[in-house]
Structures are given as structure tokens and as C-alpha cells.
Structure 1
Amino acid sequence: MGAIIVLLGVIGFAVLVIVLMYNSLVGKKNQTENAFAGIDAMLKKRYDLIPNLVATVQQYMEHEKSTLTQVTEMRARALSGGLSNDEKVALDNQISSAIGGIMVAVENYPELKANENFDQLQRTMTEIEEQISAARRAYNAAITSYNNSIEMFPTNILAGMMSYQRKEVFVIPEAQRENVDVHNLFNR
């Protein structure tokens, strides 16, 4: 009789541990999805600003017309839906690079820099970029926690049974890692 009680206690403890590990894994997976939704919301705000940015700079920047068209097309593709998270990340990196190029090109148009609408738009864009950066940091933290959980013993066994796969963190594109040559900025 005592052996049965001990056996039931061990089985009960094992079930409790498995349930706790399962709940932890599901919670971490949900945190990663929630964190990506935060990035998505900030990207939507940025996408909503793109038509205003293009309309404001278009009248001044005839030479950069192809870049403006490219940004508008990428925005339309981003809003069309049906993109995987990886595709959204790649598209976001392309849009960030193109918008960065527009902001650098603005330096050649003093009358545009003096435009009040553009100034407000640039401040709003900078604020949204900071929010996107914060959302990416939160996402990367959630992904790191998730990846640690599915790769560490003993939860890796349960994660394998649940077919949980490692997720990739947001990585800054190589072009954005390059140092800015400030000497060129001041010699215009």
C-alpha cells in the first residue's frame, strides 16, 4: 500500500512538472507572437506616414523620384498582407534603408529642410523609428527567452515533441551597421 502511494506521488509530481514546462513553453511562444505584433503596429504607423513623406518631398526631389517610387511600392507590398514574419522583416529592412537614403538626400535641398510640414514629418518619423527600435529589442528579448527554453534540458524534450522550432532574432542589416562618414556631412 505504501509503495502505491509513493508511486502515485512520483507520477503526480512528474505530471505536474510536465504541465508546468508545457505552460511555460506556450507562454514564451505567445510572448514572441505578442512582441512581433508590437513591431507590426509600429511598422503600420510608419507605413501610414510614407505617403505624406513622399508627397512632401516629391515636389523638391526630382532626382530621387525612383527612390520615392520604390518606397511607395514597398509600402503597398507590406500592406497587402500575406507576408510571413521573415518576409516582413526583410521588407522592413529595405524600407528602412530607402527612407534613410531619402533623409540623407534631403541635405541637398535646403528649401525642403526649411519646410515646416517636412520638419514635423521628420520628427514624427524619428519618433516612430525609436518606437520600432524599442519594439525590436522587446521582440529579441522574448525570442531569446523562447529559444533558451526550447534548447535547454529538460524543456527541450517537450519542445521537440511539440515541434517547436528555434526563431530568429531581428538583426540589423549590414548596410545599417556601417559607420557614417561625418566628414562628408559637414563638407557640403
Structure 2
Amino acid sequence: MFFLIAFAVIIILVILYIGTYNAFIKNRNRVEETWAQIDVQLKRRCDLIPNLVETVKGFARHEQDTLEKVIAARNSIIAAGNSPQQQLEANNQLTGALRSVFALSESYPELKANDSFVELQHELSTTENKVAYSRQLYNSTVMNWNNRVESFPSNIIANLHHFKKQEMLSIADTERETPSVKF
């Protein structure tokens, strides 16, 4: 009878171990998949930039400096490392450069009325919303992963298999500043 109980306990522990390990694998794959979604949106955004630059060039020839900053920011995204945080920092630079391009439209009414520019501006705005949503989903997924890595008893299996906490995405300090509104 003792051997039967010991065997049953061992079987239950093995099943719990396998279930916990498989849950880690699923969560890790989910974290990777949610980062891939951010990456897809960032790539889409980078693909829209050359069209935007070409459209603006036709109307604002003497604004070459602004356009070069946008192109440089786009190139820094391509050169960014594999770290999600590094890639998002590079994208934050691009966001700042794009704001200056959109500010140009205020100085050039014919640009502001151009259908191509308006469509590209809309596409970029939609992409920005998708990036923001994807960031939220990524952070939520990473939080679930980190909870599993740190919680007992799954932390035992995490340590055995060297599963580590993941870094959540954060915003730059410059993005935390409250914009000033003047009338």
C-alpha cells in the first residue's frame, strides 16, 4: 500500500512538473509573438516613411534639414540592436522627427491639402495606435511571464531551466513631459 501511495505522489509531481514546464514554454512563445507584433507595426511605419518624405519634398524643398532628420531616425531604427527597448528608443526618435514633418504641413497649406500627404498621415497615425496597443499587450504578456518566473512553486522549475524575467517596455523621460498648450 505504501508503494502505491508513493508511486501516485510521484506520478502527480511529474504531471505537475510537465504542466508547469509546458506553461513556461507557451508563455515564452507568447512573449516572443507579442514582440513580433510590435516589430511588424514598426516595420510598417518605417516602410511608410520614404513615401511621406517624397511627398513632403515636392512641397517643401527648403525644409531639407527636417527631412534628413526623419531619414536618419528611420535608419537608426534599422541599425538598432535586438533589444526591444533599444528598438523602441530609436522609434521614439523617429516619432519626434515625424512631429516636425507634420508641423511643416501647417506652414504649407497646399501640402496639408494634398491627398497623398493626408493619406500617409492617416496611415502613420493608425500605425502609431497599433504600436501603442501592441506595447500594452507585450507588457501584459511579460507581466504574466514574470509572475510565473517569480511565483512559487513555478519559480523552482524556472530556476532549473534558467528561465529569466523579461524586461517590460517603458517610455522615455521626454515622453513623460506634459505638453504645453498655449492659446
TM norm structure 2? 0.89
- What's the CA shift string for 1:111-134, capped at 9, x where partnerless? 321222111111111111111111
- What's the CA shift string for 1:85-116, capped at 9, x where partnerless? 33222212222222223223432332321222
CA distance in 2, matches of 1:124, 1:57: 15
- 1:117 maps onto 2:116 in alignment: yes
- 1:43 maps onto 2:42 in alignment: yes
Note the residue ranges of structure 1 that are not aligned, 5 or more in a row. none
CA distance in 2, matches of 1:21, 1:73: 46
CA distance in 2, matches of 1:102, 1:176: 18
| Alignment correspondent of 1:19 | 18
Alpha-carbon shift at residue 162 of structure 1 (Å): 1.5
3-state SS of 2:59 partner: coil
% identical aligned pairs: 34
Highest relative contact order (Cα 8 Å, sep 6+), 1 or 2?
Answer: 1
CA distance in 2, matches of 1:174, 1:105: 25
| Alignment correspondent of 1:91 | 90
Letter in 1 for 2:127: I
Alpha-carbon shift at residue 80 of structure 1 (Å): 5.7
Alpha-carbon shift at residue 154 of structure 1 (Å): 1.0
- 1:128 maps onto 2:127 in alignment: yes
Structure 1 stretches (4+) deviating beyond 4 angstroms? none
Does the 8 Å contact 1:67/1:98 carry over to 2? yes
User: Counterparts of 1:15-164 in structure 2 under 5 Å?
Assistant: 15-62=14-61, 64-79=63-78, 83-164=82-163
CA distance in 2, matches of 1:143, 1:3: 43
CA distance in 1, matches of 2:179, 2:4: 70
Letter in 2 for 1:175: T
Letter in 2 for 1:70: K
Paired residues, what number? 183
CA distance in 1, matches of 2:140, 2:33: 12
Alpha-carbon shift at residue 63 of structure 1 (Å): 5.6
TM norm structure 1? 0.87
Does the 8 Å contact 1:97/1:176 carry over to 2? no
CA distance in 2, matches of 1:177, 1:59: 34
CA distance in 1, matches of 2:174, 2:58: 28
Does the 8 Å contact 1:21/1:155 carry over to 2? yes
